[in-house]
């Protein structure tokens, strides 16, 4: 036995030397081979900025493509511009001509039968050029609705229905004193159907901020929603006449004549349960089709655009693109309808736009025009407004083209064939289920998040599909599906390796026979046990070495001076009931702190009262000089745990912080100012906010 062990040891040593030699040869070969440059979004979809004349403030509120390829654009300043030749390139410039002016912050525009329709704050208006001079000479009111004067009473649309009627969507107002949305006048928080003759028909209720709207490939109407009260995260809802989609403030008007919605505000439980569960027992409450995880897929959901280019924009025909105003990016959505109910998946698609995206339309060359605005609604893109064009380069990105629900899991379809060996390995995927609270409070952290075991994977013969058999799937939940280890047959990683599937119903079809996975599982477990045994022995040896070194170092070092915690909400006892300085910190519209700069003495005892008077979530975080973006990006990388952790990453760059505050909420903290003079940054680390919501804590001697 001893001789056999010696022989095995020698063989193992020889094998290790051989592997080392082969590895060195491979490394040398790799040194000579050209390195593969990672592909980026820009390799497949180019962003082209359109020049805007200096005297034109193009804060885009709505856009439409005219028959000749020109763009009609309404702005928040109350103007309508016609942009001719928008798809030219090189040194040529598009031509801008003012078509109309004097409107009240129009946030939607449509072209129909030779006329332009705009939705102002309180009116749906038809603009007509009767003499052909390129300027509107008739401003015709189609229908108007009341205003209270509340700043948050935005209005959007119209969307034309097949019968020629139009749909407009109306924001609720906002109360800083109450800290939530309010419907102060009739129909705020509703979708209204309006005939060309000016008859209004109440259509659906429950909207909070319905900034995005449109039809999918099947001709069904959807709207996009922003996180807020009764809205745990961004979402997309299929809207039919008589639906109530969640925001209870709109139900103040459900008893008015013509209302197809009969629910009252008191019918809606404010329990913090998942939306889907509440909808099952409240007839008339409709759960969303798709959730967009907050801070991950955006923070301010906006435009809705169906891909009707028949492949002219790439491999995503009949899918939907959704813009985000706060994070200046576009997501990609694919719906499926199961048992009459919509659900589906959302993927990242394209980031890097220069301002906050509000509208997207197709050009006559299958490129996408993106209209943006930022004033008062700060965005990742730094420009106050912008008009850009997104063009497919013709190259095929390696992506998850879609994900479909199956009775026992999901099926991923790819744009290119996958490496079957990698795609069949369950270790190369990760599935996590989670949801949000349905509550009157603003937003929601992720709740009930649990990992879902992947029992096995079946890859199609052509390598274009991977069927995941998954345990612990829950109806009404969002499922994060990662495929980080999957590569194409050419060795390319996925351009985006994650999708978020909202599961309202299980897909139809046969379940996979899981017996085929047992033999492979048993073999993998045996190999893993052997590897774990070796790893444990190595870890034990390393632990002993480290423990000895730590013991030696501890004996040689002096005891560390105790430091205050980073979030202290009671005055320390050794302060004798008094702080050296009290700072009252607030917020201003446009993602700003108020004041933007404060000064304290080094080492002073500071009491800071942070009052969030804004209409969205904020925190207050003091970080080391020059690290605000780094800390913010670390907060964004927290992913599903972000809001649960108040968007505070575990890093020494964070010095002091409050908790994450609801609108109208305050938090008092106590801390010792840094002893080193300098300019320290305070920042809101909520995803998308940290790029602009910053201030300076000046520490002096």
Q: How far is Cα 589 from Cα 421, in angstroms, rounded to an integer?
A: 53
Count of structural domains within the chain: 3
The pairs formed by 628-633 with CB atoms below 8 angstroms and a separation of 24 or more are: 628/681, 628/683, 628/690, 628/694, 629/690, 629/691, 631/683, 631/685, 631/690, 632/683, 632/685, 632/687, 632/689, 632/690, 632/691, 633/690
Q: What are phi and psi of 434, to 5 degrees?
A: -160, 170
Q: What are phi and psi of 386, to 5 degrees?
A: -170, 155
Contact 555, 583 (CB under 8 A): no
Residue 324 pairs in a beta bridge with: 301, 329
Q: What are phi and psi of 551, to 5 degrees?
A: -65, -40
527-556 per-position pLDDT tens digit: 666 777 777 778 777 777 777 766 666 555
* Strand, helix or coil for residue 221: strand
Angle at 330 between CA 101 and CA 59, to 5 degrees: 20
Looking at 362, 392, 422, the residue that finishes a domain is 392
* Residues with Cβ within 8 Å of residue 631, at least 6 apart in sequence: 621, 623, 649, 651, 653, 654, 683, 685, 690
Looking at 376, 392, 408, the residue that finishes a domain is 392
Q: How far is Cα 443 from Cα 617, in angstroms, rounded to an integer?
A: 8
| pLDDT > 70 fraction of the chain, expressed in percent and rounded | 91
217 and 304 share one domain: yes
Q: What are phi and psi of 253, to 5 degrees?
A: -115, 15
Sheet holding 138-144, edge to edge: 109-112, 115-119, 123-128, 138-144
pLDDT at residue 2, rounded to an integer? 41
Q: Radius of gyration of the chain from Cα atoms?
A: 29
- Here the tokens at position 300 are 């301010």
* Residues with Cβ within 8 Å of residue 531, at least 6 apart in sequence: none
Under DSSP, the state recorded for 690 is: T
- Measuring CA to CA, which residue among 292, 152, 267 is closest to residue 208? 152
Type and span of the H or E element at 338:
strand 329-338
Q: What is the DSSP string of 594-634?
A: ESSEEEEETT-EEEEEEE--SSS-B--EEE-TT-HHHHHHH
125 and 247 share one domain: yes
Is residue 27 assigned to a domain?
no
Is residue 113 assigned to a domain?
yes
Contact 230, 288 (CB under 8 A): no
Neighbours of 514 (CB within 10 A): 13
196 and 340 share one domain: yes
Is residue 12 assigned to a domain?
no
Helices (H), 457-565: 516-556
* Residues with Cβ within 8 Å of residue 441, at least 6 apart in sequence: 180, 229, 662
Most confident of 10-14, 145-149, 636-640: 145-149
261 and 337 share one domain: yes
Helices (H), 221-316: 275-281
Q: What is the mean predicted confidence (pLDDT) over 511-532?
A: 73
Q: What is the mean predicted confidence (pLDDT) over 479-491?
A: 97
- Measuring CA to CA, which residue among 198, 120, 193, 102 is closest to residue 156? 120
Looking at 373, 392, 411, the residue that finishes a domain is 392
Residue 335 pairs in a beta bridge with: 344
Question: Considering the chain, what is the average pLDDT of its residues?
Answer: 92
- Measuring CA to CA, which residue among 147, 137, 160 is closest to residue 105? 147
- Tell me how far the alpha carbon of residue 81 is from its chain's centroid: 30
Taking 60 as the threshold, does the pLDDT of residue 259 lie above it?
yes
Distances (CA, A) of 185 to 57, 182, 188: 31, 9, 6
* Strand, helix or coil for residue 545: helix
* Strand, helix or coil for residue 429: coil
Residue 627 pairs in a beta bridge with: none
- Here the tokens at position 537 are 């022995």
Q: How many helices (H) and strands (E) does the chain have?
A: 5, 43
pLDDT at residue 4, rounded to an integer? 39
Band (pLDDT 50/70/90 cuts) for residue 316 is very high
157 and 228 share one domain: yes
Q: How far is Cα 663 from Cα 179, in angstroms, rounded to an integer?
A: 5
- Measuring CA to CA, which residue among 376, 375, 379 is closest to residue 356? 379
Count of residues making up the chain:
701
Most confident of 25-34, 176-185, 238-247: 238-247
* Residues with Cβ within 8 Å of residue 635, at least 6 apart in sequence: 642, 647, 648, 649, 685, 686, 687, 690
pLDDT at residue 505, rounded to an integer? 98
Taking 60 as the threshold, does the pLDDT of residue 256 lie above it?
yes
Q: How far is Cα 206 from Cα 144, in angstroms, rounded to an integer?
A: 20
10-57 per-position pLDDT tens digit: 444 444 444 444 444 444 444 444 456 789 999 999 999 999 999 999
pLDDT at residue 536, rounded to an integer? 79
Q: How far is Cα 631 from Cα 653, in angstroms, rounded to an integer?
A: 7
156 and 173 share one domain: yes
| pLDDT > 90 fraction of the chain, expressed in percent and rounded | 84
Is residue 160 assigned to a domain?
yes
- Here the tokens at position 582 are 């009290």
Taking 60 as the threshold, does the pLDDT of residue 82 lie above it?
yes
Is residue 562 assigned to a domain?
no
pLDDT at residue 523, rounded to an integer? 55
Is residue 383 assigned to a domain?
yes
Contact 231, 270 (CB under 8 A): no
pLDDT at residue 524, rounded to an integer? 62
452 and 345 share one domain: no
Is residue 525 assigned to a domain?
no
Q: What are phi and psi of 679, to 5 degrees?
A: -105, 105
Residues of the domain holding 289 = 41-392
Residue 138 pairs in a beta bridge with: 128
Q: Which residue has the higher pLDDT, 559 or 403?
A: 403
287 and 416 share one domain: no
Under DSSP, the state recorded for 662 is: P
449 and 590 share one domain: no
Q: How far is Cα 160 from Cα 166, in angstroms, rounded to an integer?
A: 5
Taking the chain, what is the end-to-end CA distance rounded to the nearest angstrom? 75
pLDDT at residue 20, rounded to an integer? 41
Contact 373, 59 (CB under 8 A): yes
93 and 212 share one domain: yes
Q: What is the DSSP string of 238-255?
A: E--TT-B-S-GGGGGGTT
* Strand, helix or coil for residue 521: helix
Is residue 623 assigned to a domain?
yes
503 and 377 share one domain: no
- Tell me how far the alpha carbon of residue 491 is from its chain's centroid: 29
Q: How far is Cα 371 from Cα 116, in angstroms, rounded to an integer?
A: 17
Taking 60 as the threshold, does the pLDDT of residue 341 lie above it?
yes
203 and 279 share one domain: yes
Phi-psi region of 66 (alpha: psi -120 to 50; beta: other; left: phi over 0): beta
pLDDT at residue 528, rounded to an integer? 67
């Amino acid at each position: 036995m001893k001789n056999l062990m010696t022989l095995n040891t020698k063989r193992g040593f020889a094998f290790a030397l051989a592997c080392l030699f082969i590895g060195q040869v491979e490394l040398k070969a790799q040194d000579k081979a050209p390195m593969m440059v990672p592909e980026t979004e820009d390799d497949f979809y180019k962003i082209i900025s359109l020049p805007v004349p200096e005297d034109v403030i193009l804060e885009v509120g709505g856009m439409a493509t005219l028959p000749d390829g020109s763009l009609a654009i309404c702005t928040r300043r109350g103007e309508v511009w016609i942009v001719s030749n928008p798809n030219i390139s090189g040194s040529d410039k598009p031509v801008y001509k003012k078509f109309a002016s004097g409107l009240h912050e129009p946030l939607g525009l449509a072209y129909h039968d030779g006329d332009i329709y705009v939705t102002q704050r309180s009116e749906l208006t038809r603009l007509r050029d009767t003499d052909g001079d390129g300027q509107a000479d008739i401003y015709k009111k189609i229908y108007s609705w009341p205003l209270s004067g509340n700043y948050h009473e935005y209005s959007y649309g119209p969307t034309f229905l097949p019968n020629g009627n139009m749909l407009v969507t109306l924001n609720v107002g906002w109360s800083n004193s109450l800290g939530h949305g309010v419907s102060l006048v009739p129909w705020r928080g509703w979708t209204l159907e309006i005939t060309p003759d000016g008859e209004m028909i109440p259509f659906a209720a429950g909207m909070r901020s319905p900034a995005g709207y449109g039809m999918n490939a099947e001709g069904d109407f959807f709207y996009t929603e922003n996180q807020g009260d009764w809205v745990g995260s961004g979402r997309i809802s299929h809207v039919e006449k008589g639906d109530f989609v969640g925001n209870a403030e709109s139900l103040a008007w459900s008893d008015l004549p013509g209302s197809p919605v009969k629910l009252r505000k008191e019918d809606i439980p404010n329990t913090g349960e998942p939306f889907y569960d509440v909808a099952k027992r409240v007839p008339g409450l409709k759960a969303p089709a798709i959730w967009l995880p907050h801070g991950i897929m955006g923070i301010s959901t906006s435009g809705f655009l169906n891909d009707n280019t028949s492949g002219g924009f790439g491999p995503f025909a009949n899918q939907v693109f959704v813009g985000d105003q706060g994070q200046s990016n576009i997501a990609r959505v694919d719906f499926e309808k199961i048992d009459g109910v919509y659900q589906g998946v959302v993927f990242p698609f394209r980031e890097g736009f220069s301002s906050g995206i509000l509208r997207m339309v197709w050009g006559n060359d299958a490129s996408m025009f993106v209209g943006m605005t930022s004033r008062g609604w700060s965005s990742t893109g730094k420009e106050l407004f912008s008009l850009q064009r997104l063009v497919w380069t013709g190259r095929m990105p390696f992506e998850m083209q879609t994900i479909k629900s199956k009775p026992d899991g999901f099926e991923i379809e790819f744009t290119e064939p996958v490496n079957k060996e990698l795609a069949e390995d369950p270790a190369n995927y990760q599935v996590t289920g989670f949801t949000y609270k349905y509550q009157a409070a603003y937003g929601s952290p992720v709740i009930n998040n649990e990992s879902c075991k992947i029992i096995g994977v079946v890859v199609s013969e052509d390598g274009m599909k991977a069927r995941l058999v998954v345990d612990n799937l829950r109806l009404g939940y969002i499922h994060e599906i990662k495929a980080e280890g999957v590569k194409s047959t050419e060795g390319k990683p996925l351009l985006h390796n994650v999708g978020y599937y909202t599961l309202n119903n299980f897909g139809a079809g046969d379940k996979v026979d899981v017996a085929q996975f047992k033999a492979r599982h048993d073999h993998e477990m045996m190999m893993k046990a052997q590897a774990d045994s070796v790893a444990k022995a190595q870890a034990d040896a390393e632990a002993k070495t480290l423990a000895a070194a730590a013991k030696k170092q501890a004996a040689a070092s002096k005891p560390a001076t105790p430091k205050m915690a980073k979030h202290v909400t009671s005055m320390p006892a050794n302060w004798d009931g008094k702080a050296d300085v009290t700072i009252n910190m607030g917020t201003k519209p446009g993602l700003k702190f108020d004041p933007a700069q404060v000064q304290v003495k080094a080492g002073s005892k500071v009491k800071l009262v942070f009052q969030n008077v804004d209409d969205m979530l904020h925190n207050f975080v003091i970080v080391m000089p020059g690290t605000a973006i780094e800390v913010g990006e670390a907060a964004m990388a927290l992913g599903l745990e972000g809001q649960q952790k108040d968007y505070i990453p575990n890093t020494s760059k964070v010095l002091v912080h409050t908790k994450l505050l609801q609108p109208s909420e305050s938090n008092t903290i106590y801390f010792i100012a840094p002893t080193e003079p300098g300019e320290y940054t305070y920042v809101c680390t909520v995803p998308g906010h940290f790029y602009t919501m910053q201030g300076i804590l000046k520490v002096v001697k």
